[in-house]
Structure 1
Amino acid sequence: MMLLEYDHQAIMVDCGIMFPTGDMLGIDLVIPDINYLRSNPDVLKGIFITHGHEDHIGALPYLIEELNVPIYATKLTCAFIEYKLQNARRGKAPKADLNIITEKDTINVGPFQVEPFAVSHSIPNAVGLGIHTPQGLIVHTGEFKFDPSPYSGRKTDKERLQRYSDMGVLLLMSDSTNAEHEGITPSEQTIAESMNEIFDNAKGRVILATFASNIDRVQLMADAIIAHDRKVVFVGRSMVEFSRIARELGYLNIPNKHIVPLDQAERTSDSKVAFICTGTQGEPNSALVRMGNDDHRQIEIKSGDTVVVSASIIPGNEEVVNTNIDNLFRLGADVIYQQLKHVHVSGHANRETLKEMIALVKPKYFMPIQGEYRMLSLHGRLAEEMGIPASNIIVIENGQIVEINRDEVSFGKKFPTDYVFIDGSSVGDVGNVVLRDRHNLSQNGFVSCAIAIKESSGKLVEGPEIISRGFIYIRENEFMLDEAADLVVQSIGRKRRKRKLTSDVLNDTIRRTLSDFFYKTTGRRPMIFPVVLEV
């Protein structure tokens, strides 16, 4: 999510999610922090979405009712957003003012004139944005590459970019995702040969995994399936729905006669069927992971199956992805992935193409966007190599306010931002304290200590009863728990001789006594849960 503001009026570009990292235990998704907009409720005038991937549209179901402004996106992207809103997990679908835009449009929002332009990416209908402001022209590339022969036929509009360059570009904001990768990103077309070879050699079923929103890849896979006289079977809710939407809108060309529903696939010969499914990132409930765990209700992996994982691994997902590949091998499948065969290309520009974009647009100022901080930094260095002065290169982190005009760039204050966590149906209720507790529980377990005291005197009448989970194996450490219980009794006795004991004092005494004891004996500090009953 990025805000562009002029004279207390702003537009937002994209509104996506981040997938949780390994230390965000129990978290489903991470969405943007919109506290700046809450503090300035009348500033936002519209949202422009560059394409329909989750990291660009995924937060809309959680935020759009509060933001309550028009959304501008291309036809396929609007359809994906509408699907996301209708399937929001929080009951009634949020309402949104969706407006379909094309590359021929100019959209006036406040002081901004926004012109979408075509870009080649791993999803149809993706756009960059030419944003005319009172201070000058801003070019936002969206996510792009210069593919000379895209599978969908949609090329990045270099003519538009050249026209912008001729007009004079104040600021170029350019995709940095592949700033670590040398050379030029291969064309989507280059995968077709590998897919055909896989089908030529496959004797049994073929299972192809990719992102549901990677419609161009789905088309390529379907073409290979049909060319080898097999039926196409879509597996997984998002794959079924996204392919349906794309077919209805004309972005996916697969005649009905070549598609078989999953519940009918088992009646088709193994050599005459192929499945397209989700699960390339090891998502727990995805189709491919269920197959690897041998608990998919309709597809049981067997010897002779060929499984193709057609995606790169998102950093942080390596362990779960590799575990699933191991599981598929154990079940007898022949698993093919990028390290073994050319079955994936990126939808993002590599370094040579990033240099070409800078050379084409010739901006006065340059801001790398969309990527980890190291990618932004590397992209910034690349811009300096291309002749942009270091003082005109803007590498920023979340929350940083940048002020740009025709003559200079300066940094305003950094607005506080934080991760907003989605945990089930809970939005923002889980914070860093809860995550720290979860982390502690995952590493050290917990110990519960229950006692009963007489309300009138504070005398101990029952317990302590100590229970442990995830800390020690109780049957082999009963002596330790007995010693811990004795220490609790002694500590309570010492406290009681000095004063009447309240529940707060008892809770604190139990917690300190057990924490110190277990750390001394085991070197670990489990979470301590005192339970005090007054009778």
Structure 2
Amino acid sequence: MSNIKIMPLGGVRENGKNLNIVEVDDEIYVLDCGLKYPETELLGIDIVIPDMTYLEENADRVAGIFLTHGHADAIGALPYFLKEHDVPVFGSELTIALAKITVSSEPKLRKFQNFHVIDANTAIDFERAIVSFFKTTHTIPGSLGIVVKTDEGQVVYTGDFKFDQSAMPMYQTDYARLAEIGKQGVLALLSDSANAESPFATANERDIAESILETFKYQTGRIIVASVASNIMRIQQVIDAAYKTGRKVVLTGRDLEKIVRTAMKLSMIILPDDDILVQPKDLSTLAPEQTVILETGRMGEPIKALQKMATSHHRLIHIEEGDLVYLTTSPSHAMETILAKTKDMIYRAGGEVKAVGDDLHASGHANKNDLQLMLNLMQPKFLMPVQGEYRQLAAHADIAHETGMDYKDIFIVGKGDIVAYEKGKMHVGGQVDATDVMIDGSGVGDIGNIVLRDRKLLSEDGIFIAVVTIDRKNKKIIAEPKVTARGFVYVKTSKDLMAESAEIIKNAVQNNLDNKEFDWSHLKQDVRENLSHYLYEQTKRRPVILPVIMEINQNHRRQRKDNKPKAEKAAE
């Protein structure tokens, strides 16, 4: 009998950052290794990745990393694990091609070659389990679900999926394979929950393609299409609509061009005309009615790029009167406020905004009916909803209950929870570290809650800096306190406030110098407290106060006194 443990290190009770571990005896199978983009309160943070401490401590037991598809929420965290641990990575042809692009951003990994292309017919026989795959429908070709077959039954991970009866061949789900997996017996199903609470039927991709074409037909000015870079299906639909309406497509950004060129090389984006794509430098040669600008922004997210266009800060494109900004990707709930502000900026600049979601419910994730069909095909003993915030996981649990599953067989877990299968029963037993790891520039995990708190304070009330030089031996302040502020008040119009602040600092420092038991930390704390109290009384603001206390070097002063007479004699 095998000991089976399932541990989600990300992707539960949150959107994105998918990483699940299936542990069979002493072998570890990693299902996806993704990132998520930061929410508004994570000031200055570029991306967030899972805490992979458990994987790093047990890297010698990792049989492989198995990827479901090529979006950042499934492959984005790969460089941060692979740069320290050489483990095999498995995925479909396009998924591996995009994973190579992602990994190449890390200098240490430019020679990393441990990639393995698999397909829906592949089965890999490891020591403790057999890993196989099945085709799913998502917004990118080569999407696969993963099956880990053990002595106790199969653990199935759907990845991102939906059912679309009209999907093109390269996007089609293999229903026969799903039924076959279900007949063989599914111990646990880890299933996509991102669209579980939506009451709407998801539009099929043919209807979405028709809607995009209709929009292009009746627009007389430029069309700026905002999309996620790795949404290959949507990019193909935009290119097709541009061709049918006599327009050319301009790709902006290196991320987008790399992804499109990679998909073209693998025949997963088909150009209806070799001249359909135009370089950004040739944009000025196109008439507005001939132009489609495809914008994805940095790291594949278009919203900030649209803001720059609307405020004339974009390096290539400024939104003008008559432009249509067409949103072809539905943003997450966390982005709704930012999106509303972005729309306002676009209208102020003279443009208009339209979204695919205005007329159709477009999603790459399973709705209620899709989730129930998956459950009925798989017939799992146990269900673990993944890939969604808590309310979405809970909605998925209710959907499963409607199909006849008992709530006690459904596990809504948190990051790091260990779900163990022992003696025919599954239960939550224990936990591993699984906090968020924040990436800021080249720093990995060096930004914690204290730094974020300080950034929040700095963004709200600014900083106040006080510099004082003291002679501790003689208990004197050598130089008058110098005060300055950034993001707090305009210094030139607040001279009285600054002068009084300097006096408060002077008194607090002198009081500490006069104290027999002088303590540096106590001195700085006194300065902070006295100054904070005064500044709040005067302004109702609490800036970050940074006292800088400098002490003169007594030995240096004595040396200069000793040398001075000798220097004078020499001069005489």
- Provide TM-score, normalisation by structure 1: 0.94
1:307 paired to 2:325: yes
Distance 1:454 1:285, change over 3 A: farther
- Report if aligned partners of 1:292, 1:325 keep a CA contact under 8 Å in 2: no
Aligned length: 533
Query: How many angstroms does 1:151 deviate by?
Result: 4.4
Report % sequence identity.
Answer: 35
Q: Which residue in 1 is equivalent to 2:443?
A: 426
1:400 paired to 2:423: no
1:374 paired to 2:391: yes
Q: Which residue identity does 2:497 align to in structure 1?
A: M
- Report if aligned partners of 1:64, 1:96 keep a CA contact under 8 Å in 2: no
Q: Which residue in 2 is equivalent to 1:48?
A: 66
1:439 paired to 2:452: no
1:483 paired to 2:516: no
Q: Which residue identity does 1:519 align to in structure 2?
A: Y
Query: How many angstroms does 1:232 deviate by?
Result: 2.3
Query: How many angstroms does 1:459 deviate by?
Result: 0.9
1:319 paired to 2:337: yes
SS of the residue corresponding to residue 102 of structure 1 reads: coil
After TM superposition, the structure 1 = structure 2 runs for residues 79-94 of structure 1, keeping only pairs within 5 Å, are: 79-88=97-106, 93=110
SS of the residue corresponding to residue 263 of structure 2 reads: helix
- Listed one character per residue, the Cα deviations across residues 256-310 of structure 1 (whole Å, up to 9, x for unaligned) are 2322222123213322232222149995896434322223333332222222111
Q: 1:533 aligns with which of 508, 528, 550?
A: 550
Distance 1:493 1:331, change over 3 A: closer
1:77 paired to 2:64: no
- Listed one character per residue, the Cα deviations across residues 380-411 of structure 1 (whole Å, up to 9, x for unaligned) are 12212211112111110001001024610121
Query: How many angstroms does 1:213 deviate by?
Result: 0.6
Distance 1:483 1:152, change over 3 A: farther
Q: Which residue in 1 is equivalent to 2:560?
A: none
Q: Which residue in 2 is equivalent to 1:472?
A: 489
Q: 1:161 aligns with which of 178, 183, 188?
A: 178
SS of the residue corresponding to residue 198 of structure 1 reads: helix
- Listed one character per residue, the Cα deviations across residues 76-129 of structure 1 (whole Å, up to 9, x for unaligned) are 0000011112234x6763625110001110012331211111000011110001
Distance 1:436 1:322, change over 3 A: same
- Listed one character per residue, the Cα deviations across residues 329-379 of structure 1 (whole Å, up to 9, x for unaligned) are 22222321246444x610001111111111121111111111111111111
After TM superposition, the structure 1 = structure 2 runs for residues 267-282 of structure 1, keeping only pairs within 5 Å, are: 267-279=285-297
1:239 paired to 2:274: no
1:360 paired to 2:380: no
Distance 1:41 1:246 in 2: 32
After TM superposition, the structure 1 = structure 2 runs for residues 119-268 of structure 1, keeping only pairs within 5 Å, are: 119-151=136-168, 153-254=170-271, 255-268=273-286
Q: 1:25 aligns with which of 43, 57, 82?
A: 43
1:290 paired to 2:308: yes
- Provide TM-score, normalisation by structure 2: 0.88
Distance 1:280 1:498 in 2: 56
Gaps of 5+ in 1: none
Q: Name whichever of 14-23 and 70-79 sits farther off.
A: 14-23
Gaps of 5+ in 2: 1-18, 553-572
Task: Report the structure number with the largest CA radius of gyration.
Answer: 2
After TM superposition, the structure 1 = structure 2 runs for residues 29-40 of structure 1, keeping only pairs within 5 Å, are: 29-40=47-58
Q: Which residue identity does 1:225 align to in structure 2?
A: A
Q: Name whichever of 246-255 and 129-138 sits farther off.
A: 129-138
Distance 2:356 2:275 in 1: 31
Q: Which residue in 1 is equivalent to 2:27?
A: 9
Distance 2:62 2:195 in 1: 31
- Report if aligned partners of 1:211, 1:280 keep a CA contact under 8 Å in 2: no
Distance 1:502 1:135 in 2: 65
SS of the residue corresponding to residue 66 of structure 1 reads: coil
Distance 1:462 1:500, change over 3 A: farther
- Report if aligned partners of 2:249, 2:294 keep a CA contact under 8 Å in 1: yes
Distance 1:512 1:401, change over 3 A: same
- Report if aligned partners of 2:461, 2:544 keep a CA contact under 8 Å in 1: yes
Distance 1:91 1:330, change over 3 A: farther
- Listed one character per residue, the Cα deviations across residues 476-524 of structure 1 (whole Å, up to 9, x for unaligned) are 4332332222222222333333226454443232122212333344444
Distance 1:35 1:349 in 2: 31
Distance 2:528 2:108 in 1: 41
Q: Name whichever of 405-414 and 208-217 sits farther off.
A: 405-414
